[in-house]
Copies of this chain bind each other. A is one copy, B any other.
Amino acid sequence: MSGQPPTLGVGMVGFGFIGKVHAHAYRSQRLFYDPPPALPRLVGVCTTRPETAQRAAEQGEFAFGTDRFEDLLARDDIDIIDVATPNPLHHDQVIAALEAGKHVYCDKPLAVTLDEARAIVAAAQARPELTHGMALHCRFVPATMRARQLIDEDRLGRVFHFRAAYLHSGYEDPQRPISWRLSKEAGGGVLSDLGSHIIDLMAWLLGPFGTVQASAETFIRERPVAAGSGERATVEVEDYVAFQAWMQSGALGFVEASRFATGLQDQLEFSIFGEQGALRFDLMNPNWLLFFDAQDKGGDLGGERGFKMIECVQRYPKPSALPSPKLGIGWVRYHIHAIHDLLAAVAEGRLGGATLFDGARVQAVDDAVRKSMQTGSQVAVPDI
């Protein structure tokens, strides 16, 4: 790349936890990539009220804050709309942004229903000149990127079966009060919240899901309306979901997502078993990808067969420049690389490494799993 990288104006809608993470990731680009593919400029942030918008602008160092989404869409100096709102709002905002000619970066899950997701897909297809990306940060971990490389190089051969899980805790206490996240308004329970990550990751690594058969449970069906309150409200979403999957490739799999995995934190893990090799990964030990190469042949003492702990640390491809590729990695870094990919995609006029289409594919699996949760029978994953 010759000359100065382009400047790209960013408008963000929503400034909760994930909005702050995105803002931090934009701000980190200049230092983490050398040269950066583009220089992001945080132009405007939109929240629900003028006061919070003002505070968001200060905290995130945006040029201005507003409570009117149209203010972002109207600005010529905003190239990218970063949708960091609760998922029930994504459909309208993403489509409006696309129609206003903005590139889009959307938090996961893409939408609440498959119909919404399809409408977004149609809007994106209507504007092929626009870049879009999804905040599926698990694709941007050095170890998962390396897993993808190994699969692309056919190092696993035919995949027989796999296991994948995203296990969290925090809801085991029946006295924990009800919250928005446990209501229908959240647009789904643990399946859309955590399941979307692991579904996307496995589809990215192993190709599309074919058929699923699911079960789910709401372990605690009523909770206090507030801490210590005797009044109770109904939990409207699932706490736990598990499903068997038949991939289009013929591989069998089992996928789990839980908010009731007592003692675990952010435990995203997978094992993939193939004819030529196997892969294992655990996001809480993200510095290594485990790879077994079935080509290794053993001797009397077993030769050198075994899982290799491939060192992944901060090993991103150039222009990654910070931190050193020898240092232990963590959660923030994945988002910085996800935003890097978005900016590079916009600069290069290509789609992002994870797109609205990918988000819609996750939604289609979500839709099938949700139907199977209710009927107990096998459900084919629909097209998007």
Tell me how far the C-beta of A84 lies from the nearest C-beta in chain B, rounded to whole angstroms.
13
Q: Given A215-B252, A305-B310, A333-B330: A24 and B28 within 8 A (CB)?
A: yes
Q: Given A31-B59, A311-B306: A284 and B21 within 8 A (CB)?
A: no
Residues of B within 8 A of A311 (CB): 265, 302, 305-306
Interface-facing stretch out of A45-53, A117-125, A285-293, A347-355: A285-293
- A145 within 8 Å of B by Cβ? yes
| Cβ < 8 Å to B, chain A residues 279-319 | 283-288, 290-292, 294, 298, 300-318
Across the interface, A213 reaches (CB within 8 A) one of B20, B60, B213, B332, namely B213
Tell me how far the C-beta of A326 lies from the nearest C-beta in chain B, rounded to whole angstroms.
5
Tell me how far the C-beta of A139 lies from the nearest C-beta in chain B, rounded to whole angstroms.
13
Q: How far is the CA of A294 from the CA of B260 in the complex (A)?
A: 12
Interface-facing stretch out of A104-112, A223-231, A270-278, A362-370: A270-278
- A240 within 8 Å of B by Cβ? yes
Interface-facing stretch out of A68-76, A160-168, A179-187, A198-206: A160-168
| Cβ < 8 Å to B, chain A residues 226-284 | 239-240, 242, 244, 246, 252, 254, 256, 258, 260-266, 271, 273-275, 277-278, 283-284
Determine if A329 and B327 form an interchain contact, defined as CB atoms under 8 angstroms apart: no
Which residues of A line the B interface, CB within 8 A? 17, 20-21, 23-24, 27-28, 30-32, 34, 58-61, 142, 145-146, 149, 160-161, 163, 165, 168-170, 172-174, 213, 215, 217, 219, 239-240, 242, 244, 246, 252, 254, 256, 258, 260-266, 271, 273-275, 277-278, 283-288, 290-292, 294, 298, 300-318, 321-333, 376-378
